[in-house]
Amino acid sequence: MTHPLNADLHCHSVVSDGTLTPEALAERARGNGVELWALTDHDEIGGQARALAAAHAQGMKYLTGVEISVTFIGQTVHIVGLGFDVNNEALVQGLRATRGGRTHRAREMAEGLATVGIKGAFEGALPYVGNPELISRTHFARFLVESGVCRDTAEVFRKYLTEGKPGYVPHRWAELKDAVTWITQAGGVAVIAHPARYKFTPNQEFALFTEFKGHGGQGVEVVTGSHSAAEFVTYAHTAQEFGLAASRGSDFHSPLESHTELGTLPLLSSELTPVWELLGHRIQ
Ligand code: AMP
Ligand code: MN
Ligand code: MN
Ligand code: MN
């Protein structure tokens, strides 16, 4: 048995590093049968009003969403927030602070790339940036593909933008406790995004889940575009072990780059508590 609702609670628009508008995403989600949708731009909720209106225009239910960048034991971890009040002052301020260092970091990334002969990457990435406060590694990747340095964005990340590579600049994001608190105090539910993507040891992963729960986190992504079928099973067990609700989301960014379409992943299995069951009163 599966939870029959087609919910897609993770994707990105031009407000962060996606290539589609909130309206185009809503239309695409509905076209794939999505019934409950959330737009979860990185560190930014500026697209939420448009996404809500577009969801309703398409006949979908909506949960507010965001994906917050956090630094935990020296690694970047993403925490998805769902169903929060977009006008909550602490959340708005916290996200603004989290976005704050991105432009400075981007300039340092460009300096790193210049040392291996790639000139003008900051200026080159800018035309791909939809939101001036949200320059991301993805925008550099698109520039390096368009200018012929690499064949696709995966190759750019592998050769230039990940740890140890010339364009990588470690960044200090939000604290785990702060991100979870901003979301929960604003009436939402915090969710660990794509846990299989992190390179933690088993002990470090245990610490992440334990501390997350201790701070009031309530969910984990089980079915995501970043997980293999085997990882759906692994993290279904983790969800049950830690007493966390399960979420499902494609992490869709772009028709050309994303291998997972909105609303097309397997449904959550019936042994899990879907995260939207905790958010009945927050669904719009
Ligand atoms: P940033 O927040 O600037 O560090 O950029 C992180 C974003 O880069 C993620 O949200 C993904 O959209 C993208 N990304 C990370 N790793 C990869 C990869 N290996 N291939 C393609 N895109 C990636
Ligand atoms: Mn992204
Ligand atoms: Mn992510
Ligand atoms: Mn994402």
Q: What is the mean pLDDT of residues 74-95?
A: 98
Is the confidence at residue 275, as pLDDT, over 80?
A: yes
- Cα–Cα–Cα angle for 10, 15, 20, nearest 5°? 70
pLDDT tens-digit readout, 161-207:
999 999 999 999 999 999 999 999 999 999 999 999 999 999 999 99
Closest listed residue to residue 149, CA positions, set 166, 132, 131, 130: 166
User: Is the separation of the CB atoms in 149 and 118 below 8 Å?
Assistant: yes
Counting every residue, how long is the chain? Answer: 284
Which pLDDT score is estimated for 115?
98
* The pairing of beta strand 245-249 with beta strand 65-72: unpaired
Counting atoms of ligand 1 from 1, which one is nearest the CA of 76?
Answer: 4
- Rounded CA-CA distance 232/215 in Å is 25
136 Cβ closer than 6 Å to some ligand 1 atom? yes
- Rounded CA-CA distance 234/229 in Å is 9
User: Is the separation of the CB atoms in 219 and 190 below 8 Å?
Assistant: yes
Which pLDDT score is estimated for 4?
85
Ligand nearest to the CA of 10: 4
Residue minimizing CA distance to atom 17 of ligand 1: 157
- Cα–Cα–Cα angle for 172, 173, 178, nearest 5°? 130
Cα of 33 from ligand 1 centre, angstroms:
27
Q: What is the mean pLDDT of residues 210-225?
A: 98
pLDDT tens-digit readout, 129-172:
999 999 999 999 999 999 999 999 999 999 999 999 999 999 99
Cα of 16 from ligand 3 centre, angstroms:
12
154 Cβ closer than 6 Å to some ligand 1 atom? yes
From 12, 44, 95, 138, the mutation candidate for ligand 1 (largest count of ligand atoms within 8 A of CB) is 138
pLDDT tens-digit readout, 23-35:
999 999 999 999 9
> Residues within 5 Å of ion ligand 2 by Cβ?
17
Is the confidence at residue 1, as pLDDT, over 70?
A: no
- Rounded CA-CA distance 252/140 in Å is 18
> Residues within 5 Å of ion ligand 3 by Cβ?
78, 193
- Rounded CA-CA distance 263/277 in Å is 18
Which pLDDT score is estimated for 55?
99
- Rounded CA-CA distance 17/52 in Å is 19
User: Is the separation of the CB atoms in 22 and 51 below 8 Å?
Assistant: yes
Sign of the Cα pseudo-torsion (38, 172, 125, 96, in order) = positive
From 69, 109, 157, the mutation candidate for ligand 1 (largest count of ligand atoms within 8 A of CB) is 157
Which residue in this structure is represented by tokens 């609702």? 5
Is the confidence at residue 46, as pLDDT, over 90?
A: yes
Which pLDDT score is estimated for 74?
95
Residue minimizing CA distance to atom 8 of ligand 1: 138
- Rounded CA-CA distance 192/281 in Å is 21
210's CB contacts (< 8 A; 6+ apart) are: 242
247 Cβ closer than 6 Å to some ligand 1 atom? no
256 Cβ closer than 6 Å to some ligand 1 atom? no
Is the confidence at residue 2, as pLDDT, over 80?
A: no
30 Cβ closer than 6 Å to some ligand 1 atom? no
Q: Which residues of 56-81 are buried (b: 16+ CB within 10 A; e: fewer)?
A: eebebbbbbbbbbbbebeeeebbbbb
C-alpha 98 chain-centroid distance = 14
C-alpha 5 chain-centroid distance = 21
Closest listed residue to residue 192, CA positions, set 169, 163, 171, 215: 215
248 Cβ closer than 6 Å to some ligand 1 atom? no
Residue 6 half-sphere exposure toward CB, CA atoms < 13 A: 13
Is the confidence at residue 44, as pLDDT, over 80?
A: yes
Q: Does residue 72 sit in helix, strand or coil?
A: strand
User: Is the separation of the CB atoms in 84 and 186 below 8 Å?
Assistant: yes
- Rounded CA-CA distance 64/81 in Å is 8
Cα of 137 from ligand 1 centre, angstroms:
6
